[in-house]
Amino acid sequence: SISTPIILAFERQQHHHKLEEVAKQQIKTELKLLQQQINPHFLFNTLNNLYALALTKSEKTPDLVLQLADLLRYTVYEGQKLFVPLEKELSYIKNFLELHKIRHANNCRFNLAWPETTQSLSIAPLLLIILIENTIKYGVEHAQENAEVTIKLTLNDNVLTLYCENSIPRKSDNDDSGMGLKNLKRRLELLYPEKHTLLVHNHNGLWQTNLSLELSSD
């Protein structure tokens, strides 16, 4: 009679641990599916970029194709990891933006800012790029005339903040219900619960996005 409550408590504890393991496995499975959604999305965007570059018939096209291949390689391999070094992720984003600066040299002004140091921090891959892609898509590719986009990354201790701003072209509107943003919001809920803020709004004809993440050390 004395040992029965102890046995029951032990069984409840074991059952609780099993439920926790099942929940963790479900989260890992969902994250994997969300990451796999990004790969074909980026592949289609890459093919569109290749098509646009081919139309220019520029001497730089072969080098830009190689640069696109590097971006795609990062997406396929690094994008499958749970976390990557922040320095590596920012390098990927810089290369992505350099390519678009070349593509849109005649019709867009890019205002860019980067943190001076990345410390020894890690970040979930391919989160920031979703917001940056949206800024390029709606602020530049939909524009009928000269465009301007602002993309600023700042780091305060271990809090990384991404601020994006673009004008909203006529006959177009940013859509915050698309697959990319839905994917982003769900991954943030799973990976950074109570450690992130995401604000998206239209202010005086400018689409502004502000994402803050509390990062962990490598």
Does residue 147 or residue 132 have the better pLDDT? 132
* Per-residue pLDDT reduced to its tens digit, 15-24: 555 655 655 5
The answer for residues whose C-beta is within 8 angstroms of residue 113's C-beta and 6 or more apart is: 151, 152, 153, 154
Show contacts of 199-206: CB within 8 Å, 24+ apart.
200/176, 202/168, 202/174, 205/167, 205/168, 206/165, 206/166, 206/167, 206/168
Distance CA(176)–CA(161), nearest Å, equals 19
Distance CA(42)–CA(50), nearest Å, equals 12
* Per-residue pLDDT reduced to its tens digit, 103-132: 787 788 899 999 988 889 999 998 999 899
pLDDT at 4: 64
Q: How far does CA 31 lie from the centroid of its chain?
A: 14
The answer for residues whose C-beta is within 8 angstroms of residue 184's C-beta and 6 or more apart is: 127, 130, 131, 198
**Nearest in space to 164 (alpha carbons), one of 105, 206, 106:** 206
Distances in whole angstroms, Cα of residue 100 to Cα of each of 68, 89, 132, 176:
11, 17, 11, 22
Correct CATH for 3-217 of 3.60.10.10, 3.50.50.60, 3.40.50.800, 3.30.565.10: 3.30.565.10
* Per-residue pLDDT reduced to its tens digit, 91-102: 999 998 988 887
Both tokens of 20, joined, read 């926790």
* Per-residue pLDDT reduced to its tens digit, 47-86: 777 777 777 677 777 777 788 888 888 888 888 888 999 9
Q: What are the residue boundaries of the structural domains of the chain, listed by start?
A: 3-217
Average pLDDT for the chain: 80
Q: Is pLDDT above 70 for 169? A: no
pLDDT at 177: 45
pLDDT at 176: 47
Most confident of 19-33, 137-151, 192-206: 192-206
pLDDT at 154: 97
* Per-residue pLDDT reduced to its tens digit, 174-213: 454 467 788 889 889 989 999 999 999 888 888 899 999 9
